[in-house]
Amino acid sequence: MWNITFLFIQYLVSLWLNTEDKFDLIATSLKKAKAVRTTPLARNPIFCSHKTLFMSYLFTSESVSEGHPDKVADQISDALIDHFLAFDPDSKVACETLVTTGQVFLAGEVKSNTYLDVQKIARDTINKIGYTKGEYMFDGNSCGVLSAIHEQSEDINRGVDRGAEEQGAGDQGMMFGYATNETENYMPLALDLSHRILIELAAMRREGTDITYIRPDSKSQVTIEYDDDNTPNRIDAIVISTQHDDFDEETAMLAKIREDLKTKLIPRVVAKLPSHIQDLFNDQITYHINPTGKFVIGGPHGDTGLTGRKIIVDTYGGKGAHGGGAFSGKDPSKVDRSAAYATRHIAKNMVAAGLCSEVLVQVSYAIGVAEPMGVFVDTYGTSPFNLTDGEIADHISKLFDLRPAAIEKRLKLRRPIYSETAAYGHMGREHKTVTKTFHQPNGESLTLEVELFTWEKLDYVDVIKEAFGI
C-alpha cells in the first residue's frame, strides 16, 4: 500500500513539474520506495525543484565501560562461566550477579563436576576492572561476597542433556544477528565509535599519564547524521560521562575534565580510525562531557548493578533487533547466547560475501527441541540478486546447522572464552587466539589456548558465494 501511495504522489509531482523525464522519475522511485519503507526511522519524502529529496536523519547508540555497575556484574558472571568450562567443558551454568555498595551477591544454577572458589573469582574480577580503593566504597579486597548458587533443576536438564545430535535448546525464544557494511567490522558505526571511546578512556586510566584522575565507571553516546541513502554524513553529537577523583574546586575540575577529554581522548580515538571515518569528525560536533556536573560517586556504590541489563550495548546499539535474552552468565547450551552468536556469524558472512549490504537474521527455538522453529532474513532491500528474503532464508537454513550442539561445535563455544565478551560488546570484536590460565582452590592450575570471538570469523564467505552464485 505504501509503495502505491508513494508512486502516485511521485506521478502527480512529475505532472506538476511538466518534465519530460517524469517516467524516469517514477522508475527510480520503484527502487527508493522499498528502501524508504524498510529503512530504520523511515524518512518523509520532500520535493524540491526537479529532484526527489529525502530528509537526512540522526541515529544514536551508547556504550558503557567495564566499570559500569551492570558490566561489573556481567564480568563476574562470565568469569565464573569461564572457570566452570575450563575444568569441566560439559558444565551447565546460569549465574546471576548483583553488585552494590560493598557487596556482591551470586545466585544461579549449576551442573558441573568441578568445584570453584567463587568468592576469589569475584574479587579478582573486581580488582582487574580497577575497583581497588576503599574510597570507591566498593573494592575487590574488602567487599562481601555471598553465594546462593545451587544445582540445576532436573526438569530443565532433562530436555537439554541428550546426545549431541538431539541436544535440545535450553529455552524457548528468538535470537537475532545483524551486520552492515558501514564499518570494517560490519557493525553499526554509532555503536562502534561509542565502544572505541570507552576502550581508549580505560586505556588512558590504566596508563595514568595523560589523564590521572579517571575512575572506572563511564558511559558514552554517539549521534550520527545519515544521508538519505543511509551513508554516514557526519558526527552530530558525542556524550561522555566519566567518574573521576575529587581533585579540585568543582568548576575548575569540570573545565579540566572537559578539556582533557576533547583534546586528549578524542584525538587518540580518531587517530585509530580509517580515514573515511576520521572525515566525519569536525569542529561542529556538539560535546556533552559530564553534563550533570561532578561525578565522583559511581560504580556499584552509585548504582546497583545486575547481570544482563545492557543487552543493546552488548549487541547492535539499537540497529537490527533483539530477542530480549541476555548473554552473560549463561553457558552455551542456552540459545539466548549461542544462537545470537550463530546468527551474527551468519549475518556477517552474508554481508562480507556481497549477498547484501545490511541484513537481519532471526532464529527461534522451543525448549528441549533441537531443530529451530524457523529462520527469518531481512536484507532491508539491499540485496542485488533476484531473490526474495524468504528464498535467501531457505538457502541459509540449509547452509548452517542451527541445532544447539552444532552451533557449539562450529563456534567452539564449550571453551572458556566469555570473560572477554562481557565489556565493550559481544559483536564486532577481533577474532584471535590467546592463552589463559585458571586456578582451583586445591592449587591445581590449567593453561589453555582458546579462540576468542569465533562468531566474527569470515570462514563462510566462499560457501555463501558458491551457494548463491556470487
pLDDT digit string (tens) for 2-58? 455 544 555 554 554 444 444 444 444 444 444 444 444 443 443 333 344 568 999
Please tell me whether residues 284 and 360 are part of one structural domain. no
> What mean pLDDT do residues 378-395 have?
97
Check residue 161 and give its pLDDT.
Answer: 61
Which of the listed residues 55, 76, 95 is the one where a domain comes to its end? 55
Q: Indicate if the pLDDT at residue 103 is higher than 90.
A: yes
Determine, yes or no, domain membership for 49.
yes
What is the rounded distance in angstroms from the CA atom of residue 372 to the CA atom of residue 395? Answer: 15
Please tell me whether residues 206 and 257 are part of one structural domain. yes
Determine, yes or no, domain membership for 119.
no
> What mean pLDDT do residues 276-287 have?
97
Check residue 47 and give its pLDDT.
Answer: 36
Check residue 443 and give its pLDDT.
Answer: 87
C-alpha of 353 from chain center = 22
The residues, ordered by sequence, that sit 6+ positions from 235 with a Cβ below 8 Å of its Cβ are: 193, 222, 223, 224, 225, 280, 281, 282, 285
Please tell me whether residues 392 and 272 are part of one structural domain. no
Which of the listed residues 55, 72, 91 is the one where a domain comes to its end? 55
151 confidence band (pLDDT: 50, 70, 90):
confident
Check residue 223 and give its pLDDT.
Answer: 99
Which of the listed residues 38, 55, 72 is the one where a domain comes to its end? 55
Chain-wide mean pLDDT for the chain?
90
The CATH number that applies at residue 274 is 3.30.300.10
What is the rounded distance in angstroms from the CA atom of residue 345 to the CA atom of residue 367? Answer: 22
Please tell me whether residues 282 and 388 are part of one structural domain. no
Check residue 87 and give its pLDDT.
Answer: 97
Check residue 43 and give its pLDDT.
Answer: 37
Please tell me whether residues 400 and 372 are part of one structural domain. yes
Q: Express each pLDDT in 404-463 by its tens digit.
A: 999 999 999 999 999 999 999 999 999 999 999 999 998 889 999 999 999 999 999 999
Q: Express each pLDDT in 185-236 by its tens digit.
A: 999 999 999 999 999 999 999 999 999 999 999 999 999 999 999 999 999 9
Please tell me whether residues 326 and 292 are part of one structural domain. no
State whether residue 470 is helix, strand or coil: coil
Determine, yes or no, domain membership for 353.
yes
Q: Of 100, 83, 78, 80, whose CA–CA distance to 144 is shortest?
A: 100
Please tell me whether residues 335 and 261 are part of one structural domain. no
Check residue 153 and give its pLDDT.
Answer: 67
166 confidence band (pLDDT: 50, 70, 90):
confident
Q: Which three cell numbers stand for residue 300?
A: 556499584
What is the rounded distance in angstroms from the CA atom of residue 363 to the CA atom of residue 397? Answer: 9
Please tell me whether residues 447 and 338 are part of one structural domain. yes
366 confidence band (pLDDT: 50, 70, 90):
very high
154 confidence band (pLDDT: 50, 70, 90):
low
Q: Indicate if the pLDDT at residue 178 is higher than 90.
A: yes
What is the rounded distance in angstroms from the CA atom of residue 316 to the CA atom of residue 318? Answer: 6
What is the rounded distance in angstroms from the CA atom of residue 189 to the CA atom of residue 235? Answer: 10
> What mean pLDDT do residues 57-72 have?
99
> What mean pLDDT do residues 284-305 have?
98
Determine, yes or no, domain membership for 143.
no
Check residue 278 and give its pLDDT.
Answer: 98
Please tell me whether residues 459 and 402 are part of one structural domain. yes
Q: Indicate if the pLDDT at residue 107 is higher than 70.
A: yes
> What mean pLDDT do residues 323-331 have?
98
Please tell me whether residues 328 and 288 are part of one structural domain. no
Determine, yes or no, domain membership for 140.
no
Q: Which three cell numbers stand for residue 261?
A: 577529554
What is the rounded distance in angstroms from the CA atom of residue 279 to the CA atom of residue 43? Answer: 25
Determine, yes or no, domain membership for 147.
no
Determine, yes or no, domain membership for 97.
no
Check residue 158 and give its pLDDT.
Answer: 58
Query: What whole-number percentage of the chain has pLDDT above 90?
Result: 83
286 burial via Cβ count (<10 Å: 0-12, 13-18, 19+): exposed
Strands 103-111 and 144-151: parallel
Check residue 45 and give its pLDDT.
Answer: 40
Please tell me whether residues 289 and 326 are part of one structural domain. no
* Domains in the chain, number: 3
134 confidence band (pLDDT: 50, 70, 90):
very high
Q: Which three cell numbers stand for residue 185?
A: 567490522
What is the rounded distance in angstroms from the CA atom of residue 105 to the CA atom of residue 448? Answer: 29
Determine, yes or no, domain membership for 87.
no
Quickly list DSSP for 183-239. Answer: STTSS-HHHHHHHHHHHHHHHHHHH-SS---EEEEEEEEEEEEE-TTS-EEEEEEEE
Residue 288's domain spans which residues? Answer: 189-296
Check residue 36 and give its pLDDT.
Answer: 43
Quickly list DSSP for 112-156. Answer: -S----HHHHHHHHHHHHT---GGGT--TTT-EEEEEEEEPPHHH
What is the rounded distance in angstroms from the CA atom of residue 398 to the CA atom of residue 387? Answer: 16
396 confidence band (pLDDT: 50, 70, 90):
very high
Instruction: Quote the radius of gyration of the chain (alpha carbons, Å).
Output: 24
Check residue 152 and give its pLDDT.
Answer: 76
What is the rounded distance in angstroms from the CA atom of residue 156 to the CA atom of residue 74? Answer: 23
Please tell me whether residues 341 and 291 are part of one structural domain. no
